[in-house]
Amino acid sequence: MSLLHFAIIAPLLFACFIPFLFKRLNLIHTGWFVLGLSIILFIYFLRFLPDIQHGGIQETVNWIPSLGINFTAYVDGLGLLFALLITGIGSLVSLYSIYYLSKEKEDLGSFYVYLLMFMGAMLGVVLSDNLIVLYTFWELTSFSSFLLIGYWYHKKRSRYGAQKSMLITVFGGLAMLGGFLLLYLMTGSFSIREIISIADGIYGDPLFIPALILVLFGAFTKSAQFPFHIWLPDAMEAPTPVSAYLHSATMVKAGIYLVARLSPVFAEHGLWLWLVAGFGIFTLAWGSFNAVKQTDLKAILAFSTVSQLGLIMSLLGIGAAALHYDYLDDNLYMAATFAAVFHLINHATFKGSLFMVAGIVDHETGTRDIRRLGGLMQIMPVTFTIALIGTFSMAGLPPFNGFLSKEMFLAAMVNVLSLDIFNMETWSALFPVLAWVGSVFTFVYSMMLLFKTFTGTYQPEKLEKNPHEAPVGMLVSPIILGALVIVFGLFPNILSTSIIEPAANAISPALIDAGQSFSTHISFWHGLTPELYMTIGIVIVGAFLYVTLPKWERIYGLFPKKLALNHLYDQSLIRAESGSLSVTNSYMNGSIRTYMIYIFVSMVGILSFSIIQKNAFAFTTDGLAPMGLYEVVLGVIIAGASITILVAKSRLTSIIALGAIGYTVALFFVLFRAPDLVLTQLVIETISVALFLLAFYHLPKINRKEERMGFKLTNALVAAGVGVIVTVIAFSALSNRKFESIAQYYIENTAEKAGGLNMVNVILVDFRGFDTMFEIAVLGIAALGIYGMIKLRLSRREDT
């Protein structure tokens, strides 16, 4: 295993030791150990910055090579960007959580195990070249985020949010897996780079469109695109460090990563551009519009995240136009991909800081409700400063980094008007309109977040705590992120050549093959451009809407609640649960006899269909030993005992007849010279008969006259069907031998290879030793269970 592979799975390995560290080193906050690992990984990935300027680094570990599944780690500009976000933001979140979560009140062992699981899973997603390995880590992110969101499991809303995120994202993940399998059927490879290299040959394949749609299902559910965005606001019930990590910089960006990584495969088709850009731009407008009506700080940030993810997604969709052969020379559409990468970084910085600010406000005041907040600017001046930087950047105001990427976004939306491929000229005007509308509402909720929390009237009577500035340790992480907002705003080109251009080039390898690459110089002033006028309009209209918010916010009440997506989700779960309960109750009536009928009828039906479908029935007597008098007599005894069980009027008689069958089978083993099997059969049969006698002695006598004939007929038909099908299978298996029996192998090798003369013992102990061991283990577990039930029954008797 290479050092790169170890770096990917290091968080998963370290998570195994967290519970022991938590118990043994209780005097030290567990977060310090996690912080150390995150910093080490961040520094390790920084060393790849020079390498990605000239391509990528690949390391492979064989996993299932026969199926084309190997753990191939590949670091290029795009993968490295996400790896740095995962470990860098992870380090700041770990530091923040040390002061946010109390080791006396919280189960920190579980929290950091879940956090490290998520970190390792995300690294696996963004650095895996194999689609199946990527999917494995993808579902691990869903599972670990489920645990993190439901960390405060004693809260109903936390459990609800965790379940919701799991159901939606896992549904998308399964759809995505279907898309990956279709890609494999078309290309014969699970390697992303190999699929990209032969993507030109699969556009006309009938499986191409289904694969495209299924992959986007996975991306849209994970990155909370409309209409799958409903899980993200409910996920805010997680602790704030989780929200700052999962929902601003990492998990919700996994779908963004998937779209970016697979754009070279699908972008040549117009459906990709329409779906990615269309859903993205609508999600931007819808998310920002709904953020304005929220009153909880984290709820505002949740819908803000939905909106910003839509912005990035729309840029990737428009950037896909640059991959079309007619636009390889057009830098306008290449710039859209560049803007998507730039805003990805900017969003992680300002949104991460704002989530931490929301956590600080909640931690120090006991509430996140903006209706109860206000006037905190003088009480919490450092927190206010961080919030001002983050909200102004999110609103797209200079001199912060959000302004730069927002201008690039508006420019890309204006450039859509000149697109003349994929029938874009029909509805292209909607893109700049929705972009402008979404940006206006973004400005409004940004101002709400800042001014309703820190300015206005101070209301101490509505707060649960006496607020004061947060501890220094809790402020360090948001201060660092706030400083990055300013640095990346004033000096954006420190990112352009080092990480943004390599990441954008990785999204568009066709441009590299065509001898082109992204090369953009970022600056504040580009003259009197359409996007500048749009920004001025955003500020003017946004300020007006913010000031007049009480007069028009009642429009949110006009939307029918029955048509809300959350209502539809809840109702679908209720109806699915009630429907499944009705179906279950229709056949689960509590009768073991009925269940056995279901099982046997299904068995007879499936096996009969298989035999007929495969034309597998055969009957021959070749190779059979002659049957002597003793075998005939014993066979008649077994048949007679079986019939006795059916007609006996006493359970004791039935049990004795059942025992007679077992003992007669033991006589067969005597005839066949298998003394070990004879002894085993006798012991088992004796114990079984004794247990039956003990259990059924106290039951009432059988009254067969009260039983209905129709029910007996059903039993007879089922029993006859099972007997016939088993007999048919036995004859067919005997008559359709495709290879020699293994018996001769045992005869020749028992003494030589196992050193034993008793063939049966040698087979059980040596050749099939694992089978025997597991059988013993099963018996041991059953014995422990029985012992536990007996002890429990005895203890209850003593209590009474």
State the pLDDT at residue 497: 86
CA–CA gap between residue 448 and residue 429 (Å, rounded)? 29
Q: Alpha helix (H) ranges present in 54-107? A: 77-100
The DSSP secondary-structure symbol of 369 reads B
CA–CA gap between residue 413 and residue 392 (Å, rounded)? 22
φ, ψ for residue 329 (rounded to 5)? Answer: -100, 5
The span from the first CA to the last CA of the chain, in angstroms, equals 61
What's the one-letter identity of residue 706?
A: E
CA-to-CA dists, residue 60 to 12, 120, 276, 338, angstroms: 19, 17, 32, 30
Instruction: Give the closest residue to 495 by CA, choosing from 388, 389, 405.
Output: 405
Please report which confidence band the pLDDT of residue 322 belongs to, taking 50, 70 and 90 as the band edges.
low
CA–CA gap between residue 144 and residue 167 (Å, rounded)? 13
CA–CA gap between residue 480 and residue 87 (Å, rounded)? 15
pLDDT above 70: percentage of residues in the chain: 93
Number of alpha carbons in the 13 Å side-chain half-sphere of residue 391: 24
pLDDT above 90: percentage of residues in the chain: 49
CA–CA gap between residue 136 and residue 776 (Å, rounded)? 34
Cα 412 from chain centroid (whole Å)? 33
If one counts every other C-beta atom within 10 angstroms of the C-beta of residue 795, the result is 9
Q: Average pLDDT of the chain?
A: 87
403-417 mean pLDDT = 91
Angle at 464 between CA 557 and CA 30, to 5 degrees: 105
> What are the pLDDT digits (tens) for 445-496?
999 999 999 998 898 888 888 888 989 989 999 999 999 999 999 999 898 8
Q: What's the burial of 734, exposed, middle or buried (CB within 10 Å: 0-12/13-18/19+)?
A: middle
SS (H, E, C) 199-233: HHHCCCCCCHHHHHHHHHHHHHHHCCCCCHHHHHH
CA-to-CA dists, residue 707 to 702, 711, 714, angstroms: 10, 8, 12
Which stretch of 107-116, 617-626, 694-703 has the lowest confidence by average pLDDT? 694-703
Residue with tokens 């694992």: 770
Inform me whether the pLDDT recorded for 788 exceeds 90: no
φ, ψ for residue 223 (rounded to 5)? Answer: -100, 20
373-386 mean pLDDT = 93
427-440 mean pLDDT = 92
CA-to-CA dists, residue 711 to 280, 593, 600, 716, angstroms: 62, 11, 15, 9
Buried b (16+ CB within 10 A) or exposed e, 638-649: beebeebeeebe
- Interhelix angle for 709-735 vs 592-614, to 10°? 40
The DSSP secondary-structure symbol of 235 reads G
Residues contacting residue 205 through CB under 8 Å, at least 6 positions apart: 186
Number of alpha carbons in the 13 Å side-chain half-sphere of residue 621: 3
CATH number of the domain at 592-738, out of 1.20.120, 1.20.58, 1.25.40, 2.70.98? 1.20.120
589-617 mean pLDDT = 88
CA–CA gap between residue 298 and residue 243 (Å, rounded)? 8
Number of alpha carbons in the 13 Å side-chain half-sphere of residue 285: 13
239-244 mean pLDDT = 90
Note if the bond before 227 is cis, omega within 30 degrees: yes
Inform me whether the pLDDT recorded for 402 exceeds 80: yes
φ, ψ for residue 75 (rounded to 5)? Answer: -110, 110
Note if the bond before 399 is cis, omega within 30 degrees: yes
- Interhelix angle for 254-266 vs 297-319, to 10°? 10
> What are the pLDDT digits (tens) for 556-583?
888 888 778 888 999 999 999 899 999 8
If one counts every other C-beta atom within 10 angstroms of the C-beta of residue 102, the result is 10
CA–CA gap between residue 524 and residue 492 (Å, rounded)? 10
CA–CA gap between residue 761 and residue 676 (Å, rounded)? 8
Kindly give the pairing relationship between strand 57-64 and strand 69-75: antiparallel
- Interhelix angle for 297-319 vs 430-454, to 10°? 160
> What are the pLDDT digits (tens) for 497-511?
889 989 988 887 765
116-140 mean pLDDT = 95
What's the one-letter identity of residue 281?
A: I
Please report which confidence band the pLDDT of residue 707 belongs to, taking 50, 70 and 90 as the band edges.
very low
- The C-alpha torsion from 745 through 750 and 752 to 757, rounded to 10°, is -150
DSSP sequence for 610-668? HHHHHT------TTPPPP-HHHHHHHHHHHHHHHHHHH-SSHHHHHHHHHHHHHHHHHH
Inform me whether the pLDDT recorded for 541 exceeds 50: yes
State the pLDDT at residue 171: 94
Inform me whether the pLDDT recorded for 109 exceeds 60: yes
DSSP sequence for 415-437? HGGG--STTHHHHTTHHHHHHHH
Q: What is the Rg, in whole angstroms, of the alpha carbon atoms belonging to the chain?
A: 34
State the pLDDT at residue 329: 47
State the pLDDT at residue 79: 94
Residue with tokens 């809300």: 564
CA–CA gap between residue 498 and residue 520 (Å, rounded)? 12
Q: Which residue spans of the chain are classified as CATH 1.20.120?
A: 592-738
State the pLDDT at residue 56: 82
> What are the pLDDT digits (tens) for 714-767?
888 898 999 999 999 888 887 777 777 788 888 888 888 878 877 777 887 888
CA–CA gap between residue 312 and residue 327 (Å, rounded)? 21
Inform me whether the pLDDT recorded for 143 exceeds 80: yes
